[in-house]
Structure 1
Amino acid sequence: MAATHFLPASSLRIRLVLVGLLCWLSTVSASLAQPTDAVVRTRQGKVQGGQQGNLWVFQGIPYARPPVGTLRFRPPQPAARWQGIKNTRQFGSRALQGGPGTIQGQEDCLYLNVWAPAPIRQRRPVVVWVHGGAFTGGSGQENDTWTFAAQDTIVAVSFNYRLGSLGFLELGSQLGPRYAQAGNCGLLDAVAALRWVRQNIAAFGGDPSRVTVMGESAGAKLVGALLVTPAAQGLFQQVILESGAVQAIRDTATAAAVTRQLLRQLHLSDARALLTLPADSLIRAQSRFASGAGGLQVFGPVLDGKTIPQPPLVYLKTSRPIRVLMGTNRNEAELFTGPGSVIAQPSETALQQVFGTRNSPYVWEAYQQSRHSQPALTDWNAVLTDYLYRLASYRLALMLAEKSTLVWLYRFDYADAITRPIHAQELAFVWNAPMGTSAAATTAAAVPLRSKASNPTLAALMHRYWAQFIKTGQPGVGWPAYTASHREVMLFDTNSRAEPILAPYQDPAFPMQGYAR
């Protein structure tokens, strides 16, 4: 039998202490190598975010003062400075929104989020996401824009802005010059968020001279309004407009009519009561006439002569050049014509709710002229798609191309057992987010997993084009620019390709403003 040797108790204790010390040092070393939080200094103060996969994530950073009390219906004011380190690991409250029985969010809603690729050391391109929701719903946390940070080393930003009557209620005609910009509070919130990006994004590894503003639906329309807002000029270099252009900008007569309608719903004769009325009451009242398909175009920015000084196409003819990627989906309107919708069936009266009394006759006449060429509902959806989205997008693209602005135009046509080319369906393909992840739970390891999009190959292609545009200012090989002489459009389908569209649908009599009363 081999001899067994025993260490003295004191030596054994020493060895155990040394092993424990080595384990502790190893743990500390690993912790230092892969920290779980980060502190970044902004102009307002220090913020602390957390690490999720290969990203540093900062949520709920205030970019303006809470628009409450005397600041209701007023332009956003700079965020207050703070001492110490602000924990930014939770999203800020969404803007107040909802229907008669489901009020969500708060007036105190002006917060933004940053997803920064680690390490935060260099100047990377920046994409700023503007959420949609008919200007009455949505928030900056409901998106997968973080995929550009996780997959493409792009700094991604999203933000909330005031919605509905709190963000876009025209009050200058009711309350005088002090509230002359009340109809553009939501737009001015976007300007304030972009100004915060210009001043602070370098601390998160972003390049303030390489900013792309990207939006879908109402988000795209708000980005379109930024194009014609002098206060926003110089805060970004290029834009992505998905299913939206500049058609949401309303004249003061239309905006004032919406204000009077809200006052009637509230049984008020004096608009000054709106300054102190409980915010929930405002949201419940607006939902009675601006919800569902009937509320798609009721709210939006206002041509107030100050925030937006000129009609959009007039202003853009002399504005500085900007790079634009924009497009629509083939059957946009089918999202809004399902059972129970006010526009589920062809109706001249229903069109007045969607387009206003001045614009609805044009849409009804177009439907009457086309309804014998296809089944009634097919024609109805096609006409609604044209007048809600396509007409405005093509009109803007052609005007920009004629003034030598770089424009890339697309149309999303893809359909399968899961996906139809209706409103918002392209988003899953553009983001190409992996299944089972969200903006709140980003993991680098999840990126190669199955895409949320029903066709991962197409999703990879579209995401690559968008990322390349954000990084370089052009989408890349295979997607030619849309010019006045070469009107080629990128069609995204099973066989994606560029094709000429020489004569997109136009109605010269229909105004650029989509909703008019």
Structure 2
Amino acid sequence: MATNRRNFLQKLGLGSTALGFGSVLPSAPAAATHGTAEDGQLLFIGEDVAVTDTTHGKVRGYVLRGIHTYVGIPYGADTSGENRFLPPKKPAPWTDIKPAVWWGNSAPQNMEKRYANSYSSFIDHWNYDDVSEDCLRINVWTPGINDGKKRPVIVWLHGGGFVNGNAVEQDGYHGENLSRRGDVVFCSLNHRLGPLGFANFAAAGGSKYAASGNVGMLDIVAALEWVRDNIARFGGDPGNVTIIGQSGGGAKVTTLTAMPSAKGLFHKAVALSGSSLRAADRETSEKLGAYILSEAGLTAAQLDQLQQLPWKEYHEIATRASQKLSEEMKAAGKQG
């Protein structure tokens, strides 16, 4: 059994160090360039493997079945505290090489109903990672890095109706096979959702909170800016970017086509269902912002205090406010 286990690990390229970075196999440097090995090794991971630069610092991924993989790269700063409800900020630069080998946090969202259903959890992997406001992360799969090639770039936007989801919730969101089959660079990302990404406090908070109702979409714009500035190092062509989304992701795609801030950041768009035409209008979204303040027992002058609440507490307040507004609209014969 021990011999079989050792052979299995060696085939994966892990050797006796498992997934640690403390030791690099002799064939690893070649893997960083070619991503393959004659002995059938499938996984290359180590200090000198899949290292490339970004505008904020170097990252280290891994090579799996010939595809360079980077997951959880920061494209924005933590959105909690004083950054809550505000447009995304750039991440702080780093000096060490940052490991990009595990998924970033999912955006805060209500997942209790999903946990209670085994088949829903099987289809949508909602509970695969942590949930945090420090969630602005992008994943990249590419056949090669720093090789001078200009591969087409796909940026995938997950579904979930703007309130749920993450970049890896379904197996089909994993970019390895598509990257290999099409010789493309595949990206996916997490961004703010629900009342942390789309609660409109512009009427109550003035210019400081003017963008609060759309910061989730501005996160996606920031991710596309990251692609523009960095994807060439990952073997991609920043002048050939296609955004694709499914369901709520499709609605994000159609919304991006109408956003001036996204102009020039993508060149083709594919909406796999979903439409921005059914989005809430400004009057309704501002009314929801007022309901959230009321539910929290705060006045417009106290709006900043919402930034200091634990996200779960704020999320519960916003959910109750949304339910009250929905019931009121239905009673008035409007869509809630």
- Global fold match (TM > 0.5): yes
Q: Residue 145 of structure 2 contacts residue 234 of structure 2 at CA under 8 Å; is this kept in 1?
A: no
Map of 1:191 onto structure 2:
221
Please give the alpha-carbon distance, in whole angstroms, between the structure 2 residues aligned to 1:286 and 1:280. 10
Check 1:48–1:248 CA distance in 2 against 1; reply closer, same or farther (3 A cut).
Answer: farther
* Structure 1 residue 47 displacement after superposition: 0.4
Which of 274, 281, 284 is residue 254 of structure 1 equivalent to? 284
Check 1:187–1:207 CA distance in 2 against 1; reply closer, same or farther (3 A cut).
Answer: same
* Structure 1 residue 29 displacement after superposition: 5.9
Check 1:174–1:49 CA distance in 2 against 1; reply closer, same or farther (3 A cut).
Answer: same
1:116 equivalent to 2:154? Answer no
**One-letter identity of the residue aligned with 2:131:** G
* Structure 1 residue 34 displacement after superposition: 2.9
Which of 258, 280, 298 is residue 312 of structure 2 equivalent to? 280
Please give the alpha-carbon distance, in whole angstroms, between the structure 2 residues aligned to 1:69 and 1:258. 21
- Structure 2 regions of 5+ residues with no counterpart? 1-23, 33-43, 116-126
Larger-Rg structure: 1
* Structure 1 residue 30 displacement after superposition: 3.8
Check 1:30–1:134 CA distance in 2 against 1; reply closer, same or farther (3 A cut).
Answer: same
* Structure 1 residue 79 displacement after superposition: 1.8
What secondary structure does 1:240 align onto?
A: strand
Map of 2:82 onto structure 1:
70
1:46 equivalent to 2:58? Answer yes
**One-letter identity of the residue aligned with 1:167:** G
Deviations 1:168-194 (A, max 9, x none): 011110111111001110010000000
**One-letter identity of the residue aligned with 1:111:** R
Please give the alpha-carbon distance, in whole angstroms, between the structure 2 residues aligned to 1:88 and 1:191. 21
RMSD value, Cα:
2.8
Please give the alpha-carbon distance, in whole angstroms, between the structure 2 residues aligned to 1:248 and 1:161. 20
Which of 132, 155, 171 is residue 159 of structure 2 equivalent to? 132
1:4-403 matches, within 5 Å, as 30-35=27-32, 36=44, 37-98=49-110, 105-118=131-144, 121=147, 122-143=149-170, 144-145=172-173, 146=175, 147-270=177-300, 271-288=303-320, 352=330, 357-358=333-334, 360=335
Map of 1:367 onto structure 2:
none
TM-score normalised by the chain length of structure 1: 0.50
Please give the alpha-carbon distance, in whole angstroms, between the structure 2 residues aligned to 1:31 and 1:183. 47
Q: Residue 204 of structure 2 contacts residue 290 of structure 2 at CA under 8 Å; is this kept in 1?
A: no
Q: Residue 169 of structure 1 contacts residue 183 of structure 1 at CA under 8 Å; is this kept in 2?
A: yes
Please give the alpha-carbon distance, in whole angstroms, between the structure 1 residues aligned to 2:328 and 2:195. 22
What secondary structure does 1:64 align onto?
A: coil
Q: What is the identity percentage for the equivalent residue pairs of Structure 1 and Structure 2?
A: 35
Check 1:351–1:254 CA distance in 2 against 1; reply closer, same or farther (3 A cut).
Answer: closer
Deviations 1:453-482 (A, max 9, x none): xxxxxxxxxxxxxxxxxxxxxxxxxxxxxx
Q: Residue 99 of structure 1 contacts residue 283 of structure 1 at CA under 8 Å; is this kept in 2?
A: no
Deviations 1:211-261 (A, max 9, x none): 000111111111211111101000000111011122244322110122233
Please give the alpha-carbon distance, in whole angstroms, between the structure 2 residues aligned to 1:132 and 1:28. 39
TM-score normalised by the chain length of structure 2: 0.75
Query: Structure 1 stretch 270-279 or stretch 125-134: which is displaced more?
Result: 270-279
What secondary structure does 1:112 align onto?
A: strand
Deviations 1:147-205 (A, max 9, x none): 32132111000111111111101111011111100111001000000000000000000
Please give the alpha-carbon distance, in whole angstroms, between the structure 1 residues aligned to 2:273 and 2:304. 36
Please give the alpha-carbon distance, in whole angstroms, between the structure 2 residues aligned to 1:28 and 1:88. 19
**One-letter identity of the residue aligned with 2:52:** V
Deviations 1:389-418 (A, max 9, x none): xxxxxxxxxxxxxxxxxxxxxxxxxxxxxx
Check 1:261–1:235 CA distance in 2 against 1; reply closer, same or farther (3 A cut).
Answer: same
What secondary structure does 2:77 align onto?
A: coil
Please give the alpha-carbon distance, in whole angstroms, between the structure 1 residues aligned to 2:248 and 2:321. 18
What secondary structure does 2:238 align onto?
A: strand
Q: Residue 99 of structure 1 contacts residue 284 of structure 1 at CA under 8 Å; is this kept in 2?
A: no
How many pairs were matched up?
278
Check 1:28–1:223 CA distance in 2 against 1; reply closer, same or farther (3 A cut).
Answer: closer
What secondary structure does 1:220 align onto?
A: helix
